[in-house]
Amino acid sequence: MNIGYSMLITALFLVVIGIYIMAVKRNLIRILIGLEIIATGVNINFIAMSLLKSQSLLLDPLPHAIVITSILLDGALIGVGLALTLVVFRKYRTLDVDYLRRLRW
Amino acid sequence: MLPYAPWLIWVIPFIFAFLHPIFEKISHKLRDFMAVLAVFLSAIFAASMIPDVLRGYAIINGVKMELPIDLKIENWIPIPKGAIEVGVLVDPLSVFMANIVGWISFLIMVYSIEYMHGDESITRYWMLMNFFVGSMQLLVIADNLLVMFFGWEGVGFASYALIGYYYKDEEKYWIGPYPPSHCGMKAFVVTRAGDIGLLAAIVIIYLYSGTLNFTALSSDVSWMASLAKNGLLAITLILLFLGPIGKSAQFPLHIWLPEAMAGPTTVSALIHAATMVKAGVYLIARIIPILYIGYSALGELVHHDLIIFFLVVAWIGGFTAFLAASMGMVADQIKKVLAYSTISQLGYMISILGVSGLLMEESHLFVESYMAGILHLYSHAFFKALLFLSAGCVGHAIGSYLLKDAGGLKKYLPKTYFVMLIGLLALSGVPPFNGFFSKDSILHSLYVSKEYPLMILLAITAILTVFYSFRLLGLTFFGELKVKHHSEHHEHLHDPGPYMMYPLYILSIMTIIGVVFMPFLHELFHPLFHGVLKLEVESIHLPEFIATTFLSPLILLTVVIIILGLYPSYLLYITYKIDYKSLTERFTLLRVLWKFLYERWFINTLYYKIFVNGFLFISRGIFKYIECNGSGSFLKSVYTDFSDAVRRIQTGYFRVNIIYVLIGFLILIIITLMLGGAI
């Protein structure tokens, strides 16, 4: 039980750190790293919940399946994100997101 | 039957169609080869079903099954009161059609290897051609109306995309005033008008019968009784017939087929000889046995409605045959002449199938006229493919399909001349080519069934057919060479290579000896007549078949038809004894008639005036008075004001957006807590 709670707290920290990075940093790659940290936190959260919910030693396989799927999708997501970053860098010669403001409206 | 043959004949072309982009990356040769291979495999699988049909049973997974064999996925998608099922039906008609489609398409595909060589977007061409063949095979092998409708629409889509194949609309591909993309759209929209009727009929039949399966529809005909009691049977069947009217280009909706010439010639050949337009004839041939069973079970109850339906079918077919033949006499393009002749020949088939329905009381006449339609479909498939492909050779050589650019090519294209002559002789019904026997059996069954008005109409049409066939031949191959001053084309002025010529040779052999297979086709359809319809049918042998054709008094009619059609055509266009241009200048009546026919009886113009211009008029009115001045301007100001207000919150700074995300999370958490009762 205790390990479940400590995992929950870790997950919370990871999410908060990720959001902090995304809110503060201006470099696109750092923002992507922040996104990945959030994703990791959410995955740990899932596992922690499955630990807390399970009554016996037998674990519910569904959260694990979901987490594995989520990790896979993360890989795809980061691939697309890095590709976009590459395109942005080629176009603007910078990774500063504030320069991308001209894309609004 | 090869294993899974009825499924694979349509699955293989579909799969290959979507693999061509991959094959293209490997090698262009491989892609061309695969495209042809797909259709060849489809044809092989189709041919493997013939022995089963001849035997009357097939052994599938060690189980002996009697014809018709209905293989299906039961309860594929359950819906209220039944299920959507996908299945295939192996019976004489579907196997016959699958073979025609498969083999003719295969020859056309071989021909296109050379014909389309060097085209920049040929991958798209192969994809669509395979998709086309796959859809058509699905259409003919499907065991219920809904799956057939999928194939029907697939054929419609593929024909749209292939007619508009030259979508960049270069001037040389225009048909009269219409660019190719316009022609494709016209074909799609016009056939869609017919498909609405077909879909409506399918829904009505489903509501009354609870099934769409062909075998189920024919084994339990109570749906016909309840439709007839509500007075809906004739209307439903005529709605169903609207589909064939659109697809097979019959009278009110025939206007799309002449414009369907805008695509590559191979596409025209495929549309006219094997796929697309034959779908309508197939559907009619498919429902006639069902209606026959309904008639023999219910008798007087449905008799009246069926007679109305079959009269409509027979007369629309007959009238279309005449209409298109008259237009074909003045067409100004090689392919257009052939297009009109297709409409005309389809009119023959549909007309005779309609007549067969009128003769349900006398079973041997019913069988004879039904088989006459089937035989004409069979022989038309071969000679029309031959004609279109040889027209493709002419176009390949002189770079134009206009009759005014052709002329005097006999010396330069001797092989093309020879095969085209065979095709045109078959088209005009000259013995001993296959067109003669099938056309003669149509006229013969009209004669013995005493449908004299229709017979006279079709005989006149046959005269016109002979006339325009030889006009086409004369204007293309006789007279002076007009292409001389196009010096860049002159070096191309020779017969094409082997990939184009060998399919033509095979088709011309089939056209010459086509009669040999006609008794065999009678044999092939025995399971339908004998097994399903419980009719006594006698086998016909070849010598007997030929003897009855030549010894009947109708041979005189054929001779008269050929002489009446050939003689003026010979004088005008082959020997050029009479100058046809001065003829129209001298006689006002001829000039008016020429104008009338050249403008296609003004039907096309009328449709454009009503539907195209009418639609544009209405939509322009809506744009002008409602969108610009009326409620439209009010809506516009509402939207712009609102979006002006909203876009202020979008700063473009990423960290601000993150704050919005956090606010969103917060609201979500609060809602969750409130719903859980924590707050």
The residues pairing with B639 across neighbouring beta strands, listed in sequence order, are none
Res. A84: pLDDT tops 80? yes
Q: Which helix (H) or strand (E) holds B168?
A: none
Q: What is the spatial distance between Cα B85 and Cα B78, in angstroms, rounded to a whole number?
A: 8
CB contact under 8 A, A24 and B655: yes
Give the pLDDT confidence score for residue A85 in this predicted structure: 92
- Please, are residues B463 and B561 in contact by the beta-carbon 8 Å criterion? yes
Q: Which helix (H) or strand (E) holds B205?
A: helix B180-209
The token duo for B10 is 């349509």
Res. A39: pLDDT tops 90? yes
Closest of B150, B144, B149, B135 to residue B10, by C-alpha: B135
Give the pLDDT confidence score for residue B104 in this predicted structure: 93
Choose among A19, A31, A98: nearest Cβ to B653.
Answer: A98
Give the pLDDT confidence score for residue B490 in this predicted structure: 55
Residue B290: C-alpha distances to residues B217, B295, B653 (Å): 7, 9, 70
Closest of B363, B322, B342 to residue B458, by C-alpha: B322
Q: What number is the average pLDDT over the span B289-306?
A: 88
Residue B560: C-alpha distances to residues B310, B315, B401, B555 (Å): 29, 24, 32, 9
Q: Which helix (H) or strand (E) holds B273?
A: none
Q: What is the spatial distance between Cα B65 and Cα B143, in angstroms, rounded to a whole number?
A: 16
Q: What is the spatial distance between Cα B386 and Cα B403, in angstroms, rounded to a whole number?
A: 19
Using the 8-state DSSP alphabet, how is residue A27 labeled?
B
Task: Report which listed range, B245-249, B480-484, B531-535, is most confident.
Answer: B245-249
Amino acid at B524: L
Q: What is the spatial distance between Cα B673 and Cα B70, in angstroms, rounded to a whole number?
A: 58
A31 CB neighbours in chain B (<8 A) are: 654
The token duo for B176 is 């009269």
- Please, are residues B92 and B67 in contact by the beta-carbon 8 Å criterion? yes
Q: Write the pLDDT tens digit of every residue in B471-517.
A: 999 888 888 887 765 555 556 677 888 888 899 999 999 999 888 88
Q: What is the spatial distance between Cα B353 and Cα B292, in angstroms, rounded to a whole number?
A: 12
| Residue whose entry in the numeric block shows the structure tokens 């359950």 | B78
Give the pLDDT confidence score for residue A81 in this predicted structure: 93
Res. B630: pLDDT tops 80? no
| Residue whose entry in the numeric block shows the structure tokens 């998709």 | B131
Q: Are β-strands B82-90 and B69-79 bridged in parallel, bridged antiparallel, or unpaired?
A: antiparallel
φ and ψ at residue B652, rounded to 5 degrees: 95, -10
CB contact under 8 A, B654 and A98: yes
Give the pLDDT confidence score for residue B460 in this predicted structure: 92
For residue B677, give every residue at least 6 positions away whose Cβ sits within 8 Å of its Cβ, in sequence order, or none: none
B663 CB neighbours in chain A (<8 A) are: none
- Please, are residues B347 and B322 in contact by the beta-carbon 8 Å criterion? yes
Choose among B650, B661, B662: nearest Cβ to A104.
Answer: B650
B655 CB neighbours in chain A (<8 A) are: 22-24
Q: Is the ipTM of this complex over 0.90?
A: no
A19 touching B (Cβ < 8 Å):
yes
Q: Write the pLDDT tens digit of every residue in B400-435.
A: 888 888 878 888 888 889 999 999 999 988 888 888
Amino acid at B449: S
Q: What is the spatial distance between Cα B26 and Cα B29, in angstroms, rounded to a whole number?
A: 9
Share of chain B above pLDDT 90, in %: 38
Closest of B200, B263, B207 to residue B230, by C-alpha: B207
B662 CB neighbours in chain A (<8 A) are: 19, 23
B-proximal residues of A, 32-91, CB under 8 Å: none
Closest of B374, B346, B380 to residue B94, by C-alpha: B374
